[in-house]
Amino acid sequence: MHLLVIGGSDAGISAALRARELDPGAEITIALADDYPNFSICGLPYYLSGETPDWHDLAHRTEFPGINVLRRHTAQAIDVSRKFVAIEHAEKALTIRYDQLVLATGATPLHPDLPGSELDGVFFLHTMKDSFAVNQHLDTHQPRTAVLVGAGYIGLELADAFTQRGLEVTLLSRSETVLPTVDPLLGRQVQDELQRHLVRVLTNVSAARIQQAVHGAPSRLVVTDSGGGQHQADLVVLAVGARPDSDLASKAGAKIGVRGAITVTREMRTNLPDVFAAGDCVETYHRLFNEPTYISLGTIAHKQGRIAGENAAGGDRQFAGALGTQSLKVFDLAIARTGLLDREARRAGFDPITVAATANDHKAYYPGAVPLHILVTGDRATGRLLGAQILGNRKAEISKRIDIVAAALFHNTSVEELNDLDLSYTPPFSSPWDPVQMAAQAWTNSVRKRADL
């Protein structure tokens, strides 16, 4: 059996490694368009900040025993009937035959229709090559100011990174608050943290055009926002999101679904015979929506890739589904979420109530206790747990605490049942009731009071 994998990031590598585990005799080939198999794209902001000074350290692994890795091999077309992929390498065309094919082509950054986005000094950040271009600009031009267009995960991580590199940063957000994937109550606290570190944050605006500055250094740029404001910068990064890279699959006849992502079964099969797909190029089954959605996360890509590789090797495993669990560091804050926000739950047909609570991360008498701000969302009628968000100091185990809720959501528990979990306790780390459980109790009490009114 020859397994061909197109794409060498999280999903592609996971598929190849799992197939190798299950079928040591299989011939496995990975074809990737660049020269960086299994590098952590999530780590790019920390390379640019200088916290991970050597980009080589971003490699999850450097050796792939028993797997043929073809670098700089770009897939051009799939012939499904004859089971081969047309590849371009060093301006030469070749074909690679397969018995089973896994598409792990990932996502590609959105390129807004923005005049001036092609100017020198304007960048996207999605690949290793992108990070080298930005880093070279930082080293060569020694920029003093940066404008970041987009206030999602990449925009906020770069605001942190560039500030650490000594730049004055302006952040443009189209939404009312930064980080629109969390509740505005927490988004405003993230904004306060940015401003505390002297990041200039402008909300409810978008970039209208970029142009070369008439005066000043030749590389100086001016970004004009939708409100007419002008922001000079030596460096501009467009961080306005990404779309699934499904073109190769679509041209081969693969069914395309939510947001242009490849439609797959929970076994990660496409509608094409012997063709699987996984990662940021595909739809994701959501456990709470109980239907496909699109979520671009490395954790999901790893899981889907592993399942695609297992089934390509003859297995029969299903993707259990995602909850959108994610976390982020912004300077000294950490913020995390899992499940549904109130507005998302309402659109999904639930009757949600979201209750805010604040509790110290550990017992107050032990030095260093810090407050955690927690939002719990549950269904009013059934008490079913639907989601949670947590914000606090980055050293307060925010990420692991959201995992408590994620595990509970995975097993369809109620909010009240969070109190039954046997969680650890010692005064330096928590309380007899963990803050997550205190927030659950606040939710239950709030719902009871509303019912009594």
What b/e string do you get for 396-411 counting C-beta neighbours within 10 Å, with b at 16 or more?
bbbbebbbbbbebbbe
Residue 42 annotated as catalytic: yes
Number of C-beta neighbours around residue 166 at 10 A:
10
Q: How far apart are CA 7 and CA 102, in angstroms?
A: 9
Cα 106 versus chain centre, distance:
12
| Identified catalytic residue from 1, 42, 110, 213 | 42
Identify the DSSP state of 261: P
Please choose, from the candidates 69, 10, 6, 73, the residue with its C-alpha nearest in 3D space to the C-alpha of residue 270: 6
> Helices 184-196 and 153-164 meet at what angle, rounded to 10?
20
CA distance 150 to 173: 5
Strands 352-360 and 333-339: unpaired
DSSP secondary structure letters along 113-176: --TTTTSTTEE--SSHHHHHHHHHHHHHH--SEEEEE--SHHHHHHHHHHHHTT-EEEEE-SSS
What Å distances lie between residue 287 and 90, 323, 395, CA to CA?
43, 6, 30
d(CA 158, CA 131): 11
Active-site residue set: 42
